[in-house]
Structure 1
Amino acid sequence: MSKRRRKKRQESEMSESWLLPYADLLTLLLALFIVLFSSSAVDAQKFQQLSQVFNGIFMGGTGPLNYQQPLENDDHSKDVPDNSSEPEAEIEQNIEAVLDTEDQQELEAIQEKVNAFVQKNDFHHKFDVALTSEGLLLTIRDNVLFESGRADVREEDKNTARELAVLLEMEPPRNIIISGHTDNIPIHNSAFQSNWELSVMRAINFMKVLLEDDKLDPRWFSAKGYGEFQPIADNQTSAGRAKNRRVEILILPKVKETD
């Protein structure tokens, strides 16, 4: 009689062991459908990348289906670590990696356009283009745009700024920061009391010329002035001071959406 009862109890406990992996599977499928729905507007290449991510997760043996045996009883189940959130976390990490790769590729495409512009106009000694951890950085020597000690873009150089504006037409748009920098030689004239003021006004005036392009949305632009406080070269030499007098255009990576 005791054997029958024990066998019946074991069968009852084993018959309920499928609930945990089944619940995890439903959660994972829900996450899958949400991500697929949110990515319905992406191109075929990105969709293929996402498909590979999910395929790797399902076939890699790390998902909720990877249970070797049913739980023996309720007491033992308390000692089993809850890994139900691991598949969702893995999905999020892989999706972020795919999106970061796509973002990097887009910035590299913009960099190629800017490099072509620099080569076309023979601006190699006046422009620098680099993909940094902060985004795509375009550095312009101040003598390309301004007279010494002045903040207004020269009339003959406004066309250069307008051509650059065309390169900044992106869909979707990105946040762009225009920053002005000077050397450490003090300035004091009727227009500016400090290098800080000069750097701010240069950034603002240059940004105004860019925004003459009606395809650029001012909401995505901001201007900063750093004066002499972020040098990229030695201010003890004339060559170093020339490098420090610059305007920078920083095209930022896409902002990740948060809950």
Structure 2
Amino acid sequence: MSILLLTAVLVSSCVSKKKFVELETKHDLSKTELVDLKANLQKCLIDNERESTKVFTLLEQIKYLQEDKKTALKQVENLTVLTQSSSDNIKTVISQLSEKDKYINGIREAMTQKDSLNLAIKFHLTKNLTDGIRDEDIEVNVEKTVVFISISDKLLFKSGSYNVTDKAYTVLEKIAKVINDQPTMEVMIEGHTDTTPIKRDIIQDNWDLSALRATSITRILQYKYGVQPERLIAAGRSQYIPLAPNDTAANKSINRRTKIIIMPKLNQFFELLEQDATK
């Protein structure tokens, strides 16, 4: 009886241990499957987030392209209007250029006439002024629409003085005749000195000397030879516009000069512009 009981216990014990091993194996397998499932779930979540980001980016691009399309269509509409406007503007500009060409040609014709007049003045001055006067003492030039007469001061003044010499009247009389023959021209008288300092009586420096010399010539042209005073301009330029370096006595003599400039009146020039602009 005891032997039978012992055998039954041993058999029962073997069966329970076998089931335990089987259950333990299944448990381990379940744990592994669970870990794999969690890993797969995590991967799916990451993939889902990545795809969601892509979808969002694509939606934004679609939105941008739609807005860009609207803008492009609006620009095309504006361009159509602008093209028509530009065409009208081009026609207007061409018309204005045509008018300006007429205006410029009118100015050129007027300048040509003025140049011809000044060349005639130069010829007349050169012919009359150099009669009995050494060529190097007086020079007549034409630049654009202006006649320049440069007279050496030894023909007009004594050294350091602004009183006109007797022989100067012969030159000034001839110049005055030419000036009076051209009543539409203005006349500027410029005094120029060398760099030698001067200070005497009412003369403080070369500014004073050049201005006083210019004024002396201006008064003679007005009071003795009848040039209208509103046409005359007196200017002192001192020593600051030399023709040669002030390093020798000969060069200083060149720089001591009086320049008489015959030129068109500015108001007449502007009137000419206005007349051509209205044609």
TM-score, length of structure 2 as denominator length: 0.62
Which of 191, 202, 205 in structure 1 is aligned with 2:216?
Answer: 205
Which of 215, 224, 233 in structure 1 is aligned with 2:244?
Answer: 233
Instruction: Check if 1:154 corresponds to 2:165.
Output: yes
Kindly provide the CA deviation profile for residues 18-58 of structure 1, in whole angstroms up to 9, marking residues without a partner as x: xxxxxxxxxxxxxxxxxxxxxxxxxxxxxxxxxxxxxxxxx
In 1, Cα distance between equivalents of 2:139 and 2:250: 15
Contact 1:103 1:254 (C-alpha < 8 Å) held by counterparts: no
Other-structure match for 2:174: 163
- SS of equivalent residue, structure 1 residue 120: coil
- What is the Cα deviation at residue 215 of structure 1? 4.7
Counterpart AA for 1:203: A
- SS of equivalent residue, structure 2 residue 254: helix
Instruction: Check if 1:78 corresponds to 2:85.
Output: yes
Kindly provide the CA deviation profile for residues 180-201 of structure 1, in whole angstroms up to 9, marking residues without a partner as x: 0000010112231101101100
In 1, Cα distance between equivalents of 2:219 and 2:199: 24
In 1, Cα distance between equivalents of 2:83 and 2:212: 70
- What is the Cα deviation at residue 138 of structure 1? 0.3
Other-structure match for 2:14: none
Contact 1:118 1:124 (C-alpha < 8 Å) held by counterparts: no
Contact 1:141 1:246 (C-alpha < 8 Å) held by counterparts: yes
Other-structure match for 2:127: 116
Other-structure match for 1:216: 227
- SS of equivalent residue, structure 2 residue 184: coil
Other-structure match for 2:256: 245
1:1-259 correspondence runs (5 A): 77-80=84-87, 81=90, 82=92, 83-133=94-144, 135-212=146-223, 215-255=226-266, 256-257=269-270, 258-259=273-274
RMSD: 2.1
User: In structure 2, do the counterparts of structure 1 residues 193 and 171 end up closer, same or farther at CA, with 3 Å as the change threshold?
Assistant: closer
In 2, Cα distance between equivalents of 1:104 and 1:191: 41
More helix by share: 2
The count of aligned residue pairs is 187
Counterpart AA for 1:173: T
Task: Please list every run of 5 or more consecutive structure 2 residues that lacks an aligned counterpart in the other structure.
Answer: 1-80, 275-279
